[in-house]
Amino acid sequence: MTTSTSTATTSTSTSAAATTPASTSPPTGWTYVQCGTDAEQRALNGANYLDQALTINKCLTFCSSKGFSIGGVQVGVECWCGNSLMNNQGKKVAESECSTPCGGDGAKGKCGGDWRISFFSSLTGAALTSAFNPAVATTTTSSTTPVPTNTGGGSYTPSIPIPGSGTKYVWAHFIVGNAYPYTYDTWMNDVRLASASGIDGFVLNFGPDYWQPDRIKDAYNAAAASGTGFKVCSPITSQTSLTTR
């Protein structure tokens, strides 16, 4: 009789825990701030990475480990970190604009949207106000226009700025599926060669292979460290279905 009661209690406890996955919530000490804007000149310019199995908890734990006090999740798969908002971005917008499911949460968490970041921070009080103040301190506008959001369902095409009357860029498409043997140093060499040839950035077209997010991470890091101002973006094409989203 005693054994039967103990088993029932354990079963109930396990079932309750499963209904609230920890990955959908920020780590201890972090709180949600707002849904805000982003653009090619990023709102958060610290560490970043791309993960098709991204969760809110995973992103903010990463930012914290790198010493950053602000973290943001975008389009379900991108994690961005910083200590204050930059480039006149991060302006508060409607919460409905940050409704993209997180890649690793099976639609339970919300991880930003098209050029929209769900911002979290470990700051409080005046420090939090100061860090987010740059987002409302100026009123300059961007010279680029984002591509309209794809509303086609299970796949996603992010907004890539289209040069208008402002600065124009030369982009080269790079098929990440051909970069299996690539290392950080390989990317650095390619970035510098491309920059020297007049190319401003790579558009990384990638597929579902498990190893490709690591290559994309190396590409972003190499471009940021190259000192050339080289740009990298990684749209998810209509051929790549993110079933977890």
Task: Give 188's pLDDT tier (boundaries 50, 70, 90).
Answer: confident
Q: Which pLDDT tens digit goes with each residue over 89-113?
A: 999 999 999 999 998 887 677 899 9
3-state secondary structure 114-179: CCEEEEEECCCHHHHHHHHCHHHHCCCCCCEECCCCCCCCCCCCCCCCEECCCCCCCEEEEEHHHC
Segments making up each domain of the chain, as ranges: 1-142, 143-245
Q: In 3-state terms, what secondary structure has residue 190?
A: helix
pTM over 0.85, yes/no? no
- Percent pLDDT > 90 in the chain is 25
Q: In 3-state terms, what secondary structure has residue 185?
A: helix
Q: Which pLDDT tens digit goes with each residue over 217-233?
A: 888 888 888 888 888 88
Average pLDDT of the chain is 75
Mean pLDDT is lowest, of 5-14, 55-64, 146-155, for 5-14
Across residues 127-148, what is the average pLDDT? 55
Name which residue leads in pLDDT, 75 or 207: 75
Q: What is the pLDDT of residue 23?
A: 58
Across residues 184-193, what is the average pLDDT? 87
Q: In 3-state terms, what secondary structure has residue 56?
A: helix
Kindly tell me if the per-residue pLDDT of 158 is higher than 60: no
Across residues 168-190, what is the average pLDDT? 85
Angle at 182 between CA 180 and CA 184, to 5 degrees: 140
Q: Which pLDDT tens digit goes with each residue over 110-123?
A: 899 989 999 999 99
Across residues 186-203, what is the average pLDDT? 86
DSSP state of 26: P
Which residue from 241, 44, 209 is spatially nearest to 135, judged by alpha carbons? 44
Kindly tell me if the per-residue pLDDT of 14 is higher than 60: no
Reported as half-sphere exposure (CB side, CA atoms, 13 A), residue 129 has a value of: 2
Reported as half-sphere exposure (CB side, CA atoms, 13 A), residue 95 has a value of: 4
Across residues 142-151, what is the average pLDDT? 40
Tokens for 241?
């279905």
